[in-house]
């Protein structure tokens, strides 16, 4: 029973890690350097500029659509780029909580299914024992 629950949790974690969609390309070096210098010089402006980042937009959109499994990796990437962005921080926390809640619910459902199956097996074994000559 525990083995099945552990497998389910592992599969859920793998699913969450594999659901990141989008462009994996990185910005050109001059653009990257300009963005970094902006972040260092003006943290508030950098946080606002982060709103234009595709990962930030995707993160906020996915969380608003309650697509938490898809949102979590995107939001974590956006948070790496824009650690001062409060909206992204909140989105990460929301997505983490929702994914954890879904994993807990899936674990509970798997456990209930396992227990029901065990009860059926016990019932079938009881019936078979009663029919033995």
Could you list the pLDDT tens digit for every one of the 133 residues in the chain? 556 555 555 555 555 555 544 444 444 455 555 455 544 544 455 445 556 789 899 999 999 999 999 999 999 999 999 999 999 999 999 999 988 988 888 888 888 888 888 888 887 777 777 776 6
Does 20 reside within a domain? no
The number of domains in the chain is 1
Contact in structure between 96 and 72 (CB atoms under 8 Å): yes
Cα separation, 133 vs 128, in Å, equals 10
Does 4 reside within a domain? no
Does 24 reside within a domain? no
Label residues 36-71 b or e (16+ Cβ within 10 Å = b): eeebeeeeeebbebbeebebbebbbebbeeebbbbb
Residue 102 burial by CB count (10 A; 0-12/13-18/19+): exposed, middle or buried?
middle
Domain that holds residue 90: 31-106
Does 118 reside within a domain? no
Does 75 reside within a domain? yes
pTM greater than the 0.85 cutoff: no
Does 97 reside within a domain? yes
Does 44 reside within a domain? yes
Does 47 reside within a domain? yes
């Amino acid at each position: 029973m525990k083995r099945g629950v552990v497998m389910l949790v592992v599969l859920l974690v793998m699913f969450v890690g594999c659901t990141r969609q989008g462009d994996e390309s990185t910005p050109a070096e001059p653009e990257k350097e300009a963005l970094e210098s902006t972040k260092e010089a003006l943290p508030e402006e950098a946080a606002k500029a982060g709103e234009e980042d595709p990962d930030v937009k995707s993160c906020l959109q996915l969380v608003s659509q309650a697509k938490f499994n898809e949102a979590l990796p995107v939001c974590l990437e956006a948070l790496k780029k824009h650690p001062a962005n409060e909206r992204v921080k909140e989105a990460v926390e929301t997505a983490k909580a929702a994914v954890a809640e879904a994993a807990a619910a899936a674990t509970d459902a798997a456990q209930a299914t396992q227990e029901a199956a065990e009860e059926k097996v016990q019932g079938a074994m009881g019936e078979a024992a009663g029919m033995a000559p």
